[in-house]
């Protein structure tokens, strides 16, 4: 059974810092991995999707990496801003199973 773990559970940083969020999964036989952002009252927004054959994806200040063999992914946020404050969720897609989510990392960027 696939399990997804996210570390840390919460993170507080001053504005402008670069930061890394971590995601690990137990079964490396995945099709893809997604990072989502969750804002209160607004549901989830997909940030980046990495296919199993890819090593990384970039979108603006966000960069996600994938090391499938070790069961790890990182989300790197450059030059953090207060608007980046949200909960970041990692989810893994394995075959015909539904997305399996981690519990998320709650990020606070302090101005």
Partner 1 sequence: GAGVSQSPSNKVTEKGKDVELRCDPISGHTALYWYRQRLGQGLEFLIYFQGNSAPDKSGLPSDRFSAERTGESVSTLTIQRTQQEDSAVYLCASSFRRTVDETQYFGPGTRLLVL
- Per-residue interface string for the shown chain with partner 1, residues 53-82, x marking contact by CB under 8 A: ------------------------------
Residues 52, 45: Cα–Cα separation, whole Å: 21
Find residue 87's DSSP bridge partners: 38, 106
Question: Per the structure block, which two tokens stand in for 6?
Answer: 């996210």
- Candidates 14-22, 46-54, 64-72, 74-82 — which segment interacts with partner 1 by CB under 8 A? 46-54
Count Cα neighbours of 58 within 13 Å in the Cβ-side half-sphere.
3
The residues that touch partner 1, with contacts defined as CB under 8 A, are 4, 31-32, 34, 36, 41-46, 49, 51, 89, 91, 93, 98-104
């Amino acid at each position: 059974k696939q399990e997804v773990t996210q570390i840390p559970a919460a993170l507080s940083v001053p504005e402008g810092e670069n930061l890394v969020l971590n995601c690990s999964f137990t079964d490396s036989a995945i099709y893809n991995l997604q990072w989502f952002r969750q804002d209160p009252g607004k549901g989830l927004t997909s940030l980046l999707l990495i296919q199993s054959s890819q090593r990384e994806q970039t979108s603006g200040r966000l960069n996600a990496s994938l090391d499938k063999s070790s069961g790890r992914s990182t989300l790197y946020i450059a030059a953090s801003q207060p608007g980046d404050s949200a909960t970041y969720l990692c989810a893994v897609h394995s075959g015909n199973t539904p997305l399996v989510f981690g519990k998320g990392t709650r990020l606070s960027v302090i101005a």
